Amino acid sequence: MAEAGAPTSVKEFEERLLDVSVALPKRLKQCADYVAANTDRIAVSTVAEMAEGAGVQPSAFMRFCQIMGFSGYSEMQRLFRESYVGGWPDYATRLDHLRDMGEHSGPRLLAEFVEASRASLENLLKSVDPQALEDAVEVLASASLVHIIGLRRSFAVASYIAYALEKMRVPAMLHGAAGRLESVNAIRPGDALLAITFSPYSQETLDLVETVRAREVPVVALTDAAVNPLRKMGATILAVSEVDFGAFRSLSATLCLAIALSTAVGTRRST
C-alpha cells in the first residue's frame, strides 16, 4: 500500500507516479494515465472532475491518491496549488511577525529579506508585460530628453536610473532632487516622462504626470500592480509587485527592472 512519505514537489510526484504505475489494477491505471497526461489540472479541478476525466468513480481516484502517498485528494491538490503560485507565503505578514517576535537579529532579517527579494524577482517575470516593456523602451529611446520623477521611497530608483542614463549618454533630467524645485517647464514636446511611484502614490508625481499628459508628452510608469490612478492616464505601465511592509519595500525587483529598462534604452539609442 502507500509507502511512508508523500511527494513534496512536482518532481517527486512524477517519479512516484512512474514507480507506482507499473503494477496497478485497471481502474487505478486509468487514473495514473490520466494524471500523467493532465498533471496541471489537479490544481484547479475537483476529484469528481478528475475521476470523470479518467473514466472512473471518485472513490477510485481517491484510492489512487492514497497509493501516491497522500492522505487524500485535498493533500495532493495542495502540492500543485502551492507550486502554482510559485509559493510566496505572505512575506509581508511574516516580516511583521518577525518584528513582533523580537527576532531582530541582523542576520535573521537579512535572510528573510533575501527570501522576499527572490520571490519578488520571480514575480517580476510574471507581472511585467513584455509588450509594455518594448513600448516603454521605444518611447524613452526616441525622446529628445527623458525626465525622471520619483519621490520618497521611489527616489532611490529614480536617482539610479538618472545615473545609468547619464552614463550611457542618454539625455536625462532628474526631477525633485534639488530642494523641491519644480521644473515642469523644462518638459517640452518631444520629451518623455518616466514616473516611478508606489502606493501610497505621492501626489506630486501624479500631478506631474497629469500635467505632462495634457501636453501630449508620453509617459512611462514604473509602478505596482494595484489599480492605481496612473492606469487611467494613458501611461505605459510597467508593473512590479514587490513585498512591502510598513515603510519598507524590498526594492530588489524594482531596481532590476529599472536597470534593464535603462540599459535597453541606452543600447537602442546608440544603434
Partner DNA sequence: CCGGATTTGGAATATATGTTCCATTTTGCT
Partner DNA sequence: AGCAAAATGGAACATATATTCCAAATCCGG
User: Where on the chain is the footprint of DNA (CB under 7 A)?
Assistant: 25-28, 46-48, 56-60, 62-63, 65-66, 71-75, 77
The Cα-based distances of 70 to 43, 44, 105 in angstroms read: 15, 18, 38
Residue in 4, 25, 26, 179 binding a second copy, rule: CB under 8 A: 179
Residue 133 interaction partner, one of DNA, a second copy, none, beta carbon < 5-8 Å per kind? a second copy
Q: Does 11 bind a second copy (CB under 8 A)?
A: no
- Chain Cα centroid distance, residue 11: 23
Q: 250: phi > 0 → left, psi -120 to 50 → alpha, else beta; which?
A: beta
Where b means 16+ CB within 10 Å and e means fewer, 57-67 reads eeebbbbbbbb
Tally the residues of the chain.
271
Looking at the chain, which runs of residues are DSSP E strands?
146-150, 172-174, 192-197, 219-223, 236-239, 244-245, 248-249
Q: Which is nearer to a second copy, 85 or 184 (CB)?
A: 85
Q: Does 23 bind a second copy (CB under 8 A)?
A: no
Q: Which is nearer to DNA, 70 or 160 (CB)?
A: 70
Residue in 2, 12, 45, 57 binding a second copy, rule: CB under 8 A: 45
Q: Which is nearer to DNA, 80 or 155 (CB)?
A: 80
Rounded CA gap, 67 and 93, in Å?
A: 36
Q: Does 153 bind a second copy (CB under 8 A)?
A: yes
Tell which positions 47-106 bind a second copy, by CB under 8 A: 53, 81, 84-88, 90-91, 94-95, 98-99, 101-102, 104-106
Q: Which is nearer to a second copy, 107 or 189 (CB)?
A: 107
